[in-house]
Amino acid sequence: MQALRCLPGVGPKSAQRMAFHLLERDRQGAFYLAERLADAVDKIGQCKTCQTLTASEECTICSDQRREQHLLCVVETPADVVAVENATDFKGLYFVLNGRLSPLDGLGPAEIGLDKLAERVKQGQIKEIILATNSTVEGEATAHYIGEMAKKYNVSASRIAHGVPFGGELEYIDSGTLSHAFSGRSQV
């Protein structure tokens, strides 16, 4: 039970329920899970190019030569790569920060791999960096930092749009977003 609590969102009650279920009804499932977990921890590491999670040295996206090599989308987590891949028709490459600038938590530029990103931008293949970090305070700060870096290397940088979400009704939107949507309005 104690061990199961390392799963996110699993408290003492859920852990107990899971433990009893596995031991009473699904010992084979438990064995399979143990095996897969050990296997995953052993084999899955970071892609040497983009830092996402992958079982090989370089992930399938980075090694796919058909993707546009001049477009780089910077995201915070491997889960964001999946979200962008599923939602958009983006066909460029990624760079996964595995975090965001958060000096209070001891996360500086080096910890989230920004020096590695700088190296990659310096090589000159990247023409546009799309800043797709979260729209939180830390995410914005990180985007700003990378934007400045892009300027230094004369690479164009763009930030994903902020505003009212799809299907959103003005009445129920938080005031920060609404205010942002107003100031960021565009000519039609």
Query: What does the binding site for a second copy look like in residue numbers (CB under 8 A)?
Result: 75-77, 79-80, 83-84, 86-90, 130-132, 134-136, 143-144, 147, 156-171, 173-188
Name the one residue in this structure whose structure tokens are 């079982």.
Answer: 55
Residue 152: CB minimum distance to a second copy, A: 13
Residue 99: CB minimum distance to a second copy, A: 13
CA–CA dist 35, 86 (Å, integer): 29
Query: Contact, 174 vs 142, CB < 8 A?
Result: no
Nearer to a second copy, 29 or 184 (CB): 184
Nearer to a second copy, 9 or 13 (CB): 9
CA–CA dist 70, 85 (Å, integer): 17
CA–CA dist 11, 114 (Å, integer): 35
Residue 86: CB minimum distance to a second copy, A: 6
Nearer to a second copy, 78 or 113 (CB): 78
* Nearest partner of 53 among 109, 12, 94, judged by Cα: 94
Nearer to a second copy, 37 or 137 (CB): 137
